[in-house]
Structure 1
C-alpha cells in the first residue's frame, strides 16, 4: 500500500484558503496545512482545489482517503442561507500523460473533470469548540494508457476543511510458494477482480507445471497452481528453497521429496549426489531402480541330475544357486560343445528361468558334456558371467530301431525308391516305419508315409527338387527317433537307366538282392490272397491272421505289371464277406469320441481319438450308424467302408478300420481338420494364393488318377465330397455312389438303373444314358476346378437342373470366375468336351497341373470374359429384383447399400453395367466381396440374353456406368 499526505503543487481554482492549525487526532504537536472553503452565505459557489500530478506506475486502481470536517447548515437562521447551504463536496479525476496543469488548465468545470463520487459527512459540528473529523475512502479504477492522474475537490456551498488527502494503491507482497518466487504485484482494476502472476523457480529447482498465483483485490495471494520442484541432488526446505543432499544421501529425480539414504552396498563421498556408487564387486543393472541395493552375480547351480534319458534325448534338472547375489532374476544358459546344429533345446538354450532343460535329436550311444550357467541382471556387467557354471556329463542310450545306411535303389522324374538298414536288439521286432519327406528348406508341414518293410517308394515328387527324408521305426518298446536328414533329388535317369548312386559293386548286389526278395514276397502275397479269398468264399469265416490292428495292404502291382482292379463289394454273395476282407476290426474301447462335427445319411460324424496300445494317439473321424437302422442301412453303411478299405493313396481318404461287433457301428477314417472343401473355400474366400488353389486341384486329380487306374468310377466327384487337412492337402472321399467299371466292355462304361444324379457335376452322356466312366469323372473334376477358383460358388448359380441340362446340351460352358488364370479355364474347357474320348485322362491332368506349379508364370495371364451361348427362357427368380437393395440383400452384400446409393446406382440396369474398376470407385476393395458381386452380375447378364446371343457389353469401358 503506497500513498502520501499534503505536499507542494496543489492548485486552487478559487475560494479555497490554505491555513495552518493543530489537529490533535492527527498531529498533536505539529501544525498541519489545511484547505478550507466556507462560503455558505454566498450564491452560486463553485470553488475548486486540484492535487499535484500523481504518477500511477504499474497500478491499475487507486484508493483516495479523505479526512475532513464539515459544519451543520442548521446553525444558520437565515432561510436563504439554509436553502443554498451544502453538507457535501465532490471528488473528481483527470487522467493525463504528463504534468501540464496550471491555473487555467484543465478547465474548472464538471465536464472537463470526471466525477468520482459525492462525498457526504457522517459527523457534523455546530461549534468550533467541538470539531469532529470525517474519514471517507473511495476506489478509483484507472484508465489504461495514461502515465498519471489529477484529483480535484469541488465545493458548492458547504463549510468544509480538508485536513488530509491520501492517495495510494494496494499490492500483494513478494512471496515464495511451491519453490516459485512471486514478486510484488499491484491489485486489479476492479474491486472484485484478481491478477494472475507467473512465478519464477527458486535456485536449483525446475518447473514441473507453470507456477501461478492470483493477487486478490485486498492485497492478499490466493489460488496457487503448479509450481517447481528441487532438481536432482537437491531437497526442499519448507517449500521455499532447495539445498544439496548430504553425503551418503542421494536424489535421482527432480521432485519435492527429501534426499534418500544410500541403499545397501553403496555410498557417496560428496554432497549433491544423484546416485550412490556400488562397493567393490557389487553392481547395479541398467534396468535397476537407483533405490535398489547393489548386487553381485550368483554362485553356480548345483546337484544336477538326469530326470529322463533315451537314445536321442535327455532331461536334466538342478538346484538353484545357493547364493543368488541378492537378486531374484536368475536365468540359465546351456552350452553343449558336442551337440550339433540339429539338437533341439526345450525351453531354449539361453535365457530361461526353469531349473530343467530337455535336449533332443541327440546321437545314440554318445557321450555329451554340458555346461549349465547361472546368470542374473549384473552378470554381464560384472565380467564374471562365465564363472557361475556347473559341468555335467552323460551318455545317451542305444536307439530303438536305429535307422542306418539309407540308399536310393531307383528313381525317376517324380519318384524315388529307398531301402535302409535297422540296428536293433536281438529281442526287438520292428512293427512299422514312418518315412517323412519335404522339400529342403520348405516351411510347409512334411508328408508322412507308413510302411512295414525296410523299403518305400515315394511318388508324386517334383522333378529336380531336393527333398529331405527322415525315417524312424517302432518296436514293442515304442517309437525310435528320426534318422538324420537324407537328401535326394528326383530326376530323369541317365540314358533311361538309374544313375549310379554309390560306387563299387556292393550296391548292385544289395539292390539286386532286395528286388529279388520283394518280387518273391509279392508273388507269395498274391498266392496267399487268392487262397484266402477262396477259403473265405467257401466257409464265410474271417481268418484275421494278422491280428486285430494289422492293416493288410492289397498289392498295387500284379506280376504282369498291371494295376490291381477295385473289387465291387456288391459282387459278393455275402456283402459281409467284403467288409471282413477289406477292412479291419477295431476294438470300440480304443475309440474316444470327443465332439460331433456333422451329420451323414446314416448318423452323426464325430471327431475323436484312436488310442491303441504301443501306438501314439491318432486323431480320427468317426461315422456312426444311428440306432434303429435296418439291415439294409447297415450293409449300405459298411459297403462304403469295404470300398475305402481297398484304397491306399495320399490323396484318397484312408480307412483306419470299422467297429461292427458292438453298437453303435462305426467307420473310422483319418481326421481332416479343415473339413469339406466347399465349406473351407467359402470360409476363406479370397485368402489363398493361386498356387495354393492349383495345388489343391493337383491333389484331387492325383487321387482320381489312382482311383481311375484301379478301374474305379466315383460318380459323385464334387467339392463337398473332398476333404481338406490343415496342410491344405485334399483327399477324395464319399464313395456312396461309386460302382465298379467293367473294363472288358466295349465302351468302358457302367450303366446305372436309376438313383440320384448330381446334375451340375455330371457329364451329358451320364445324364442322358446313365453311362459313367472315368471320362465322366473328368467332367466332374472340371466343375470341381471351377468351384475351387470361385471359392465354393454354386455351379450354374441358381439355375434349375432342367435349365442346366438344356444349356450344357446347347454348348454352354461355365465362364471363368474372377481372377481365374487362362490356363486353368482352358483346362476346365478341355474336361468339358462333349465327346468323352476327347477329354484328357487324369494322368494328363496331373502332368498339366504339375507344369503350372513348376512354372507359376504361366498362371499370371488371367482369363477374360468372352462370348458364350446361353440358354433360352432364363429363370426369372434371379433377375426379378425390385431394387438394388433387394439384390444386395439376396447376395448378402447389404453392407454396401449406402455405397451404391451415394454413387447414384439406383436401378438394376445400372448394376448390369458395373465393372471391377467401378467397384473400386464404390469403395468395395475386399477381393472376396468383389468376386462375389461380379459373379452375381455376370449371372444376371447370362440370364437376360437370349439364345445364340453374345455379350459384347461384358467388355465395357473403363468408365463408371458408361
Structure 2
C-alpha cells in the first residue's frame, strides 16, 4: 500500500512538472495600462486629424491613457511612435495590442478613403536618439511587422467589443526598439500596448537542473548541473545541456548523463536522487533502482552501495557485490580406495552441502606413515596424481609412485571459492591404506628400428631381474604438436620387447612411453622419447615433395597468364562509354573512377549515413539565426568549433519535430549522398547531428545564398566574363557528378549556392521530393502526375521519367539562360502544360538581352531533342574555358529579332504610357515593384511626373543599386517620356 501511494505521488509530481514546463514565462518590457501619467509619444501627420492622447477607461473601469484618431481621408502619413523600449537581451519580443475600430459604413466619409486596418512598424537603435524628424516617417528605415485588421468593428447600436492582437518582432540585435503605428484611413482607439518576451522557466528533468533561460536565437543552449546525490561518469564529464526554444518552451529532452550516485535511486520521475532504504543497496551509478540485499547479507544504514555478509558467510574475490554470500562446502562423502600394489584409485561422493556455490573442486592430501597409527609426514614429489592433486573437477583420482609395503593416509577435501576465507579450513574425509610388497619393474632403452611415412618400429631393453615374470608391455604414444588434446594419445599392448606402430601421420613427431605389467600390476611409464615418421625435415629428395613443388609452379604460371588476359580486357573496356541511367534511384557504375553509391540500396539506410557522414557533437555547434526554410524544417546560420580546428560559419538544416522514421531517413539521405562528394564546386558536408534533437545537417556556409535570388538582387551588376566564370564553376561541378555516375535531376539556379568570392556550388541532393506523388508546389507539380520541375527538365524525362546525365545537360542550358537574364523565370508566366507543348513543337527560349551569341548557341546545343546529340559536361567545360581565354568573342551578341520566334515565347510585350495606367503598374511590368512605396511616398503618383526624374532622385528614393537605376531610367526612356534635365546620366 505504501509503495502504491509513493507511485501515485510521483505521477502527480511528473504531471504537474509537465504542465509547468508547457507554459512559457513572460517578462514585460512595457505596458501602457500601468502608466500613471501621460505617455507623451511622438506623432506625425501631414494633415489633420492626427493621433490624440486622451484618458479613458478599460474593460475593468480602470483609468488608462489611450491614443485615438479618426481620419476623413485616405492619406497614409498619420504616424504614432512610442518611446525607446529596451529589449533586455531578448532576440525577439511580442506586442499585444488592445484597440477598437469603427466600421466604415457607420461613418460619414468617402468609402474608398476609409480603412479598417492600420500598419505596425518597429525601428531598432542602440541609443535613444529618435526626434520629431528622425528616423524619417516612411517604411524605410522602419521595418514593417504587419497590417493589423480588426476582428470586431463598432457600429451604431452594435456591441461594444475591443480587439486583441499579438504580433512577434525580431530578430532584434540592438539595445532597444521604437514601435510605430501608421493609420490608413481608420477611425480607431489604441487602448493599450503591452510589449513582452518569453523565456523558459527553471526546470528539473532527467536528474539535471536548468536555470531560467532567455532564448537569444532559434534555440538557446542552456547549461545545467546534476541534482543533489547525482553526478556524471567519466574523467572529463560534460555538463548537462538543453535547448530553450524561441517560444519560451524547452525543446525535447536534455542531453545529460547525470545518474544517481551509488546508494541512491531516481525518484519522482527523475527529479531527485533518493537514498536506498535499510535492507536495500545500489552498487553503482546508473538509472536502475535500489535492490534488496542478496541472501545472507544486510545493509546497516540508508544509502548503502553494498550489503555486508552475515557471520559465517563470505564472498569470493571474484564475486560481485550484488551476489549472495556463501560458505565453504561440507566434507566429501564415502571415499572408496582401490589399491593395485603401489598404485591407488580413489572415488567419493559429493558433499551434502555445496555452500550455495557451483565452483566446487576437490584436493587430495597424501601423508606417509611409519606404521598404522604411527606418526605421518607429507608424501613428497615422488607420488604422481591423475588428473591432478588439487583443483579436481570430478570425483575420482589415480595415484601411483607409492612405496611397497607402506601405510599411507589420504584426505579428500571439498573446496569452493570462499574456502580460503574460512578460518576453520576446508572440511575433508580421511582413509588409510597399505601398499603391496610386490614391485613392478621399470622399462628402459626405448629406441627406433625403422620408420616409414605411416609407421614406426620400436625396440626396448628386456629387464634382467629373474625373481618375477613380465606378463605384458604397454606403450603410450601421443602426437607432440597436439599435446594433451583428446584423441591425440593412443595405447598398444605387446607380449615382447618390439612393436610396430601403424596408421601414423606423415612427417609427425610422436612422444612414446612404455611400461611393464607383472603380477603386482603395471609399473610406471618410462621417460618419453620422441620419434618422427618420414619424410624427415632435411629430406628434400622425396618424390612427393618434388611433385608438389612442380604443381605449385604450374599453378602460379596459370594465374599470371589469366591475370594478364583480364588486364587486357579491362584496358580495352575502359574506353567504352556505357550510358548512365537510373531507375528508381539505381545508377549504373562507371569504370575507372569513384562511383556514387545510392544510400537507399543499403538494407539499413542508417548504415550509409554512418559510412559517409561524420557525427558531430552538438556542443560544437552554436545556432545564431534562422535564414530560411527547407523541405524538412528551418535552415539556420551558425558556428562550428571542433577542438583543434578553426571556428567557421556553417549552414544548418534542421528536422522539424513530429517526424516519421521515413522522413528522418529521407532527411539524412541527403547527407549520405553529399558526403561522397569532394569538389570545389559541390557544396561540402561538414557533418550531421543525430544523437540529440533536433536532428541537423551541417554544410559549409555560402554567404550570398541561392544563385537565382542573388542575381535578381544584383541585376546588371556583373560583366559577361564574370557570369561565364560562374557558369564554368557549375559545369565543372556537374562534370564531376556525371563522372561519379550521379544524376542530379533538379539542376536549377535556385539549387546553386554562391559564396562571398562568387564561387558557385551545386547543392540540394535530397531525393525525397521525387519519391512523393503529392505536392502543392507549382515548381514541381506536373499534370502528368508526380513531382518534376517542368521548366528545367528534358522532354524524355518528362515523358518517360528517363533521367540521365544528358537530361542534366538540358537543365544546365536552362541554368545558363537564368544566369544571363539575371534570374528571370524561364518561360516567364507560361503554364507548365504550355511549356511542354512549346518544347514538343521545337520552340526554344530566345537569347536574354545582351547575351553573347556563343552562349545562346551553347544553350541551344544543350536543348537538342535527341539526348545523344547534346554535349557532355566535359565538352561544356572545355568550351567555356576557350571562351574565357578569348573574351573578345563575348562582345558578339544576338541581334534583335534574329532567330525563330513564337507568340508563346514572346512574353516581352512593349511598354507604352497607355499600357501602364499607374506608377505601380509600370513598376510591376519591369519587375521593380519593390520600390512602389518609395515612389508614392516621394509624391510620384502619376506617370507624367516621371519625365524629369534623375539618378540623384533615385538615390534619394533609396534605390542604390546601379543595375536597378539603369533599368528604371531605360524603361522611362522606352515609354517615350523624355527627360531633358542635365545630369540624368548613370555613369
* Greater RCO structure (CA 8 Å; 6+ sep): 2
Do they fold alike, i.e. is TM over 0.5? no
Query: Could you say which structure has the larger radius of gyration?
Result: 1
* TM value normalised by structure 2: 0.44
